[in-house]
Structure 1
Amino acid sequence: MEAQLEQIREQQKETWNKFSAGWQKWDDFTMEWLRPMGEEIMQALHLTSSDVVLDVAAGTGEPGLSIAAVTKDGKVVITDLAEKMLDVARENAARKGITNYETVVCDVCELPFDNATFDAISCRFGFMFFPDMLLAAQEMVRVLKPDGRIAAAVWSVPAENTWVTTIMGAINRHLQLPAPPAGAPGMFRCGAPGALANLFQQAGLRNVTEKAVTGQLQCNTAENYWNFMNEVAAPVVFAMSKADQDTREAIRQEVFSTIAQRYPRTQVALDYGTIVVSGEK
């Protein structure tokens, strides 16, 4: 891997290890929110009880642990760059009584598995952060068995994701942050229709399909939303670290004002839009 890509990988590893505590705190909330995309991935994989499945960039364990509950006679290998995120995954597995799994710290661009090892591969909200997305897809295809399936979820375009643009829009209006380089890892890197599907086809998958999954992040209150985003969303925390106290308060006031205008008499529920892409080898 090129030195620049290795640097991105190490930065991401440090970031996700740093945010593991926040993810653990909000894990039940976050996993309930992301559950529909995990369920769509599972449906797209056509799982059987004896499948051996790879879950890439699994973080705190999903959808890998849900897949393990279905593949009772098989096994799920749950991977992530960040060991501390996998610590949370193991705690979640123990609490749920799930034992047919193992965790492996690794980089998707250098998977430590033999060719044709897995019956299916899942990846929920990992692709847009991979330093080299095509290499990642090719590695997944390499370790997938013939006729095996891959399914992945990514965020759609910003206009469909007010759960993140509400706060990031306010941040961008108050801070002069440099624009990321074109094609750099980021939330909406795979958001354009066909982007991930084309990548799957380049990697050698066939019968590639994509499906939109939309819904709402149920925050209940503006305070919950603000706290959640400032403890879990890495782009938000990074940007807010550049703001002084007065600027932070101005951003907070704008976010709360925007939410009050949108939801004057109802609970806060911000839209999200995702794309689930699947294909077979």
Structure 2
Amino acid sequence: MDVQLEQIRDQQKASWNNFSPGWKKWDDLTMDFLKPMGDEIISLLQIKEDDLVLDVAAGTGEPGLTIASMLTSGRVISTDLAEGMLDVARENAAKRNLTNFETHVCDVCELPFDDDTFDAVSCRFGFMFFPDMQVAAQEMVRVLKPGGRLATSVWNGPDTNFWVAATMSVINQHMQLSPPPAGAPGMFRCAQPGLIADLFAEAGLTNMVETEVNSKLNVGSFDVYWRFMNDVVAPVVGALSKTDDTLKAQIKADVLKLIQQKYPDGNVRIDAGARVIYGEKE
């Protein structure tokens, strides 16, 4: 990996470790929000009770925890760059009395596993943050057994993800942020249909399936929504960290107006859209 990509990786590691307390705080809400995407990954992987499963960019543990609960003689190995996130995953496994779930801190572009090791690989919302997505795909395929299955989820574009677009659109109106370089890690980097499937094909996967999955961020109120965005969503936190209190208050007020227009009854359940991509190793 070249120096620039290593720098991106190290920045990602520091950022996710920094956000791990917020993810722990909001874990129940976040896991409910992301459950439809994890369920679709699990459905496509057709998990067998004795499978050895790798969960990449596992964060606080899902969908690996759910997969582990489905196994009788199999087990799950969950990996992530951020040890802080995996600390939460282990706590969640202990709460569920899962003894077939283990964690490894590692870089997806340098997986510390032998070729042809795993029956299935899951990766929920990781690809858009990987410094080199093609190398990441190749590594996942390398550690898959012949006939193994791989499934991942990525966000669709901002037009189907009002939960983040609402806040970021207001921030951009006030701050005129520079757009990230083309291809740089970010939430909507993989929104283009077919992009991940093409990566999978180049890495050697076949029998690709790509499905749309929708969800809702069920925060209930604007106050909960605002606190959630400020604790969990990196682009929002990064932008607001550069503002003074006056501008931050104005941004909050404008986001509130936008949310109230969309949800005049005060029941804030915000739309989200993703796609799940599946492939098989020959």
Identity percentage over the alignment? 60
Q: Which moved more, 1:203-212 or 1:169-178?
A: 169-178
**Could you say which residue in structure 1 is the equivalent of 2:40?**
40
Gaps of 5+ in 2: none
What TM-score do you get using the length of structure 2 for normalisation? 0.99
- Whether contact under 8 Å (2:260, 2:266) holds in the other structure is no
Amino acid at match of 2:204: G
Residue pairs, 1:216-255, within 5 angstroms? 216-255=216-255
Distance 1:264 1:152 in 2: 35
- Whether contact under 8 Å (2:211, 2:277) holds in the other structure is yes
Distance 2:178 2:262 in 1: 29
Distance 1:268 1:72 in 2: 39
* Structure 1 residue 215, shift from structure 2 partner: 2.3
Q: Does 1:67 align with 2:64?
A: no
* Structure 1 residue 263, shift from structure 2 partner: 1.1
Amino acid at match of 1:109: C
Distance 1:19 1:215 in 2: 23
Q: Give SS of 2:102's match.
A: strand
Q: Does 1:120 align with 2:123?
A: no
Residue pairs, 1:93-242, within 5 angstroms? 93-242=93-242
Count of residue correspondences: 281
Amino acid at match of 2:158: P
**Could you say which residue in structure 1 is the equivalent of 2:268?**
268
Distance 1:216 1:154 in 2: 15
Distance 1:168 1:72 in 2: 44
- Whether contact under 8 Å (2:29, 2:218) holds in the other structure is no
Alignment deviations for residues 216-255 of structure 1 (CA, whole Å, 9 cap, x no partner): 1111001110000000001110010011111101100000
Q: Give SS of 1:146's match.
A: strand
- Whether contact under 8 Å (2:210, 2:278) holds in the other structure is yes
Distance 1:97 1:183 in 2: 41
Alignment deviations for residues 150-204 of structure 1 (CA, whole Å, 9 cap, x no partner): 0000001110000000000011011132221000000001101111111111111
Deviating 4+ runs (over 3 angstroms): none
**Could you say which residue in structure 2 is the equivalent of 1:56?**
56
Alignment deviations for residues 26-75 of structure 1 (CA, whole Å, 9 cap, x no partner): 00110011111111000111110000000000000110010001122101
Alignment deviations for residues 80-132 of structure 1 (CA, whole Å, 9 cap, x no partner): 00001100000000001111011000000000000000000000000000000
Distance 2:60 2:83 in 1: 10
Residue pairs, 1:70-89, within 5 angstroms? 70-89=70-89
Distance 1:150 1:23 in 2: 25
**Could you say which residue in structure 1 is the equivalent of 2:258?**
258
What TM-score do you get using the length of structure 1 for normalisation? 0.99
RMSD: 0.7
Distance 1:147 1:41 in 2: 17
Distance 2:72 2:242 in 1: 47
Distance 1:141 1:225 in 2: 38
**Could you say which residue in structure 2 is the equivalent of 1:17?**
17
* Structure 1 residue 262, shift from structure 2 partner: 1.2
Distance 2:250 2:243 in 1: 10
Q: Does 1:4 align with 2:16?
A: no
Amino acid at match of 1:106: C
Distance 1:77 1:48 in 2: 15
Gaps of 5+ in 1: none
* Structure 1 residue 266, shift from structure 2 partner: 4.3
Distance 2:261 2:212 in 1: 28
